[in-house]
Amino acid sequence: MDKKIFIRGVEFKYNSKDQYEKDGHVFCINCDTQIDGRFLNILGKDVVVRNKCRCEVKKEKQYFDKDKKNRISILKSNCFDGIESLKKYRFDFNKSTNSKEEILGINYVNKFNEMIKENIGLLLYGNVGSGKTYLASCIANGIIEKYLYEVNFRNIPQIMNDMEKRGFDIDKNYYINKLCSVKLLILDDFGIERKTEYITEKLYEIINMRYIKKLPTIISTNLSLKEIQNETESISLKRIYSRILEMCIPVKIVAEDRRIFESKCKIEKAKKYLIDN
Ligand SMILES: [Zn+2]
């Protein structure tokens, strides 16, 4: 602000590097927007309101977009906890050839605030390689990008590892509390291989706490729905499963193996190059 003029007797300062004066008003050098605006009387003193020019508005938007991008990037890193490859799975919201599993996932993302209200999670079950992890990752990325919500994507061995790393109960509790309080928790590849009483107990704690807090959980598993519904061997597992069935809508994933699908696409592409002309 190295220059000033008087507009109807009121002092108005401006920067001659970016702004110029013409006919008693101040304008932006780049976009010619008039900078001096309305008159206001503040505590008995007349002031001239300073307008934002188009360049300033654009700059602010760029700053906001960059800030949003940074926040998304941090949220994704925290979500996938080092599993970089899952960050890239995203729905194409406008594609007409989305599979019915993808459409379900897209609707889940678009209606996520309603899902929170009703505490609706998903139980994605199906064979190995049916694309459950892909679908769950797309949902996680979609929710982060659309709402900037905190999402955690974990599998059971990861949780066990993380717990073992934390020697003190206070650290363990902090870790569990975190899983209990994020907006969406995704437990991938759910199935307790090493059925230790301790980890089963902790998993129940997490799932039950989310149930009480009314926060949705998505679970993907290779177990069949029957196995989940009819667990009789272990009481503690039965307890977990019945909670899951209360919170999550079972969705059978029959999508083609993603790897097979990807290699098929490659073959189609190659055919196009080699045969069509
Ligand atoms: Zn401007």
pLDDT > 90: what percent of the chain? Answer: 64
Paired tokens of 170 = 């206070």
Question: Is residue 99 located within the same domain as residue 216?
Answer: yes
Cα of 103 vs centre of ligand 1, distance in Å, is 43
Task: Return d(Cα 184, Cα 143) in angstroms, integer.
Answer: 9
The per-residue pLDDT for 138 is 96
Going by their DSSP bridges, the two strands 36-42 and 3-7 should be labelled as: unpaired
Question: Is residue 130 located within the same domain as residue 213?
Answer: yes
Question: Is residue 108 located within the same domain as residue 162?
Answer: yes
Determine, yes or no, domain membership for 75.
no
- What confidence tier does 27 reach under pLDDT thresholds 50, 70, 90? very high
Cα of 68 vs centre of ligand 1, distance in Å, is 24
Question: Is residue 31 located within the same domain as residue 88?
Answer: no
Cα of 29 vs centre of ligand 1, distance in Å, is 6
pLDDT digits (tens, 9 = 90+) for 59-109: 999 999 999 999 999 999 999 997 889 999 999 877 777 888 899 999 999
> Which class for 231: exposed (0-12), middle (13-18), buried (19 or more C-beta within 10 A)?
middle
Cα of 19 vs centre of ligand 1, distance in Å, is 8
- The structure's pTM equals 0.78
Cα of 232 vs centre of ligand 1, distance in Å, is 71
Question: Which H/E stretch holds residue 14?
Answer: strand 10-14
Going by their DSSP bridges, the two strands 151-155 and 184-190 should be labelled as: parallel
Identify the CA nearest to 143 among candidates 113, 102, 98: 113
**Residue 231 lies in domain:** 83-260
Comparing 117 with 191, the larger pLDDT belongs to 117
The per-residue pLDDT for 145 is 97
Cα of 26 vs centre of ligand 1, distance in Å, is 11
Determine, yes or no, domain membership for 275.
no
Question: Is residue 21 located within the same domain as residue 100?
Answer: no
Q: Are 101 and 255 in contact (CB under 8 A)?
A: yes
Cα of 71 vs centre of ligand 1, distance in Å, is 28
Question: Is residue 35 located within the same domain as residue 133?
Answer: no
Determine, yes or no, domain membership for 238.
yes
Determine, yes or no, domain membership for 219.
yes
The per-residue pLDDT for 181 is 95
Cα of 47 vs centre of ligand 1, distance in Å, is 21
Identify the CA nearest to 25 among candidates 1, 5, 9, 53: 5
Question: Is residue 129 located within the same domain as residue 17?
Answer: no
Determine, yes or no, domain membership for 28.
yes
pLDDT digits (tens, 9 = 90+) for 116-166: 999 999 999 988 777 899 999 999 999 999 999 999 999 888 888 888 888
Cα of 35 vs centre of ligand 1, distance in Å, is 9
- What confidence tier does 266 reach under pLDDT thresholds 50, 70, 90? low
pLDDT digits (tens, 9 = 90+) for 62-73: 999 999 999 999
Determine, yes or no, domain membership for 9.
yes
Determine, yes or no, domain membership for 63.
no
Question: Is residue 101 located within the same domain as residue 224?
Answer: yes
Cα of 226 vs centre of ligand 1, distance in Å, is 65
Question: Is residue 213 located within the same domain as residue 103?
Answer: yes
Cα of 262 vs centre of ligand 1, distance in Å, is 48
The per-residue pLDDT for 199 is 82
Cα of 224 vs centre of ligand 1, distance in Å, is 62
Question: Is residue 211 located within the same domain as residue 155?
Answer: yes
Task: Return d(Cα 192, Cα 209) in angstroms, integer.
Answer: 19
| The total number of structural domains that make up the chain | 2
Cα of 50 vs centre of ligand 1, distance in Å, is 13
139 contact partners, CB below 8 Å, separation of at least 6: 105, 108, 109, 122, 184, 186, 218
Cα of 51 vs centre of ligand 1, distance in Å, is 10
